[in-house]
Structure 1
Amino acid sequence: MDWKERCRARLREHLDPRGDLAPPWERFPDYERHTMGWRMGAGEDWMGLWGVFLEQLAPDLETRIAYLRRHPPAPMSWADAVHEVLYPTERSEDDGDDEDDPTATAQRRAALLEQGLIASDVAFTTWLGQQKDVRWPWERGATPEDAARYDTRELWFWSRRIAALRGAGGWKPPIVPETWRACARALESGDAGPVEPHLGLSSLARFLCAGDVKAPWQLGLDLADFADSFDDDMGYVGAFRLWGMSAFDDAHQLRRYLEATRAPSDWRAWAEEQFPLD
């Protein structure tokens, strides 16, 4: 039995009461569109199941729109996949001429937006709807630096949730373990304290606990502080890039952040280069 046959054999146990398999952006909203997680482990497994499910789904447009509408909108970064769900025969018939045509891509995305099948910055809402009790990042045994580095997107979603809870009043976080002591003030008050530019991951973790990730230009840093490194000792600009790669799903979302933080033109150009989004 090959991998696809095993997916077919296991599909039924993963279907919801309506007979649907959740789209990948709903099942794993804390996975970026192009993360390695889709090519290994649980993400790869779900993509295999989804492929089998779509093969069995009636190919008419009405059925497929109805399927998508029963689930949360996809992030805009999934627009190509949503289009293929709607038009399953188009991929095999297409000679590829317009695959990289920006005009055709933009037109498809605009149509999906108008239909409400994709949306800007929607993954957080999907993730939040799946949460019950607050889970604290140290429960996994991770240090702040490891959480900021390896669980960046989930920690960002958690950060946004914590900021909302703090803003609602009556906020009282638990006592943090010793390994997270540097983040205690940020978690309790929303004040991350001064940034340490040479301690990028530690500073990013504090900002995430505060619920407000500051941009380098807000901290008085300049482009010369960017070392283009993903090493553990990356500076804050590098850590900010790591966060941005996980935080932004579409150009509209990035543009709102740049406008809200009043990014200078040189930093805006840097951000658009580091976070190439449609």
Structure 2
Amino acid sequence: MDWKESCRSRLREHLDAQGDLAPPWERFPDYERHTIGWRMGAGEDWMGLWSVFLDQLAPDPEARITYLRRHPPAPISWADAVHAVLCPTGRGDDDDDEDGDDDDPTAAAQRRAALLEQGLIASDVSYSIWLGQQKDLSWPWDHHETPESAARYNTREFWFWSRRAAELRRGGAWTPPGVPETWRACAHALESGDAGPVDPREGLLSLARMFCAGQVKAPWQLGLKLTDFADSFDDDMGYVDAFRLWGMSAFDDASHLRRYLEATRAPPAWEAWVAEQLPFD
């Protein structure tokens, strides 16, 4: 039995009460659009199931838009996949994974604008999808022995957790437990909402402390310079590199990123760096 046939044989067990398979952005909101997670493990399996489901879905636009409206809007970064759902003619097995880099930029922008107007895609929507799936508040040390590990390997979900924790803190419903010894460096940030001084050499730990405080400060807010960027993804990366790692995980669209840059008053030189490191169509 080949992989696609395996997906067909297992599809029914994953359908909801309406006979739908949840779109990938709903099933895994903590996965970025182009993460390798879609090409291995549970993410790859879900993409295979979704491809089979779409093959069986009625091809007329009304049926497909009705399917999409039964589910949360997709992040803007998924606009190409949403368009492929609505216009299935010629869709190959792997089209949902394609970046659309060869597409005409003007046509792609027009499609995004139309999908936004229809409410089928939206800015910064993954967090609300993720939040709606949460029950009790878990703690990052339940899944990662150290804050550096959580910031490095679970950046997006750690950030979503940070946003939720910040909302609870603002609402007065915040009673964090004691932290394990390996998380002691984050205890004050978790309790007070203040990340404290940042060591630019300890990028991942500094990022984790900011997550625990509920706010990520930009390098330019900390007085760091463009020369502090080492273009590194190593575990000993500095703060500017850790900030880039966060940006790659936190932002699904240019509008959301623009709001952050405006709120933090990014200088022109840093804006140019962000545009290069975190490109959006």
Bin for the TM-score computed over the shorter chain: over 0.9
Alignment match of 1:226 (pick from 229, 232, 235): 229
In the TM superposition, residue 172 of structure 1 has moved relative to its aligned partner by 1.0
Q: Deviations over 1:62-115 (max 9, x none)?
A: 0000000000000000000000000001547xxxx9952111000000000000
Q: Distance in 1 between the 2:173 and 2:74 partners?
A: 34
In the TM superposition, residue 41 of structure 1 has moved relative to its aligned partner by 0.1
In the TM superposition, residue 194 of structure 1 has moved relative to its aligned partner by 0.4
Matched, 1:174 2:177: yes
Q: Distance in 2 between the 1:72 and 1:228 partners?
A: 35
Q: Distance in 2 between the 1:166 and 1:224 partners?
A: 35
TM-score between both structures, scaled by the size of structure 2: 0.96
Q: Corresponding residue for 1:8?
A: 8
Alignment match of 2:103 (pick from 79, 100, 110): 100
Q: Corresponding residue for 2:164?
A: 161
Q: Distance in 2 between the 1:11 and 1:132 partners?
A: 26
Q: Deviations over 1:166-223 (max 9, x none)?
A: 0001421011111111101111110000000000000000000001000000000010
Runs of 4+ in 1 over 4 A off after TM superposition: none
Alignment match of 2:251 (pick from 248, 251, 261): 248
Matched, 1:129 2:132: yes
Letter in 1 for 2:210: F
Other structure's SS at 2:33 match: coil
Q: Corresponding residue for 2:29?
A: 29
Matched, 1:116 2:119: yes
User: Does the CA contact (< 8 Å) of 1:198 and 1:235 recur in 2?
Assistant: yes
Matched, 1:45 2:48: no
User: Does the CA contact (< 8 Å) of 2:22 and 2:71 recur in 1?
Assistant: yes
In the TM superposition, residue 141 of structure 1 has moved relative to its aligned partner by 3.7
- Aligned-pair identity in percent equals 79
User: Does the CA contact (< 8 Å) of 1:84 and 1:90 recur in 2?
Assistant: no
Q: How does 1:53-68 map to 2 (within 5 A)?
A: 53-68=53-68
Q: Distance in 1 between the 2:106 and 2:145 partners?
A: 44
Deviates more, 1:97-106 or 1:46-55: 97-106
Letter in 2 for 1:231: D
User: Does the CA contact (< 8 Å) of 1:73 and 1:118 recur in 2?
Assistant: yes
Q: Distance in 1 between the 2:173 and 2:133 partners?
A: 23
In the TM superposition, residue 140 of structure 1 has moved relative to its aligned partner by 1.6
Q: Distance in 2 between the 1:152 and 1:170 partners?
A: 24
Other structure's SS at 1:51 match: helix
Q: Corresponding residue for 2:193?
A: 190
User: Does the CA contact (< 8 Å) of 1:137 and 1:155 recur in 2?
Assistant: yes
Letter in 2 for 1:83: H
Deviates more, 1:21-30 or 1:227-236: 227-236
Q: Distance in 2 between the 1:259 and 1:219 partners?
A: 16
User: Does the CA contact (< 8 Å) of 1:226 and 1:235 recur in 2?
Assistant: yes
User: Does the CA contact (< 8 Å) of 2:144 and 2:150 recur in 1?
Assistant: no
The runs of 5 or more residues in structure 2 that have no matched partner are: 93-99
Other structure's SS at 2:71 match: coil
The alpha-carbon distance between structure 1 residues 80 and 170, as it changes in their structure 2 partners (threshold 3 A), is: closer
Letter in 1 for 2:36: M
Q: How does 1:67-106 map to 2 (within 5 A)?
A: 67-89=67-89, 91=91, 99-106=102-109
Q: Distance in 2 between the 1:8 and 1:90 partners?
A: 20
Q: Distance in 2 between the 1:260 and 1:28 partners?
A: 28
Q: Distance in 2 between the 1:142 and 1:40 partners?
A: 24
Aligned CA-pair RMSD: 1.3
Letter in 1 for 2:68: L
The runs of 5 or more residues in structure 1 that have no matched partner are: none
User: Does the CA contact (< 8 Å) of 1:98 and 1:104 recur in 2?
Assistant: no
In the TM superposition, residue 142 of structure 1 has moved relative to its aligned partner by 2.6
TM-score between both structures, scaled by the size of structure 1: 0.97
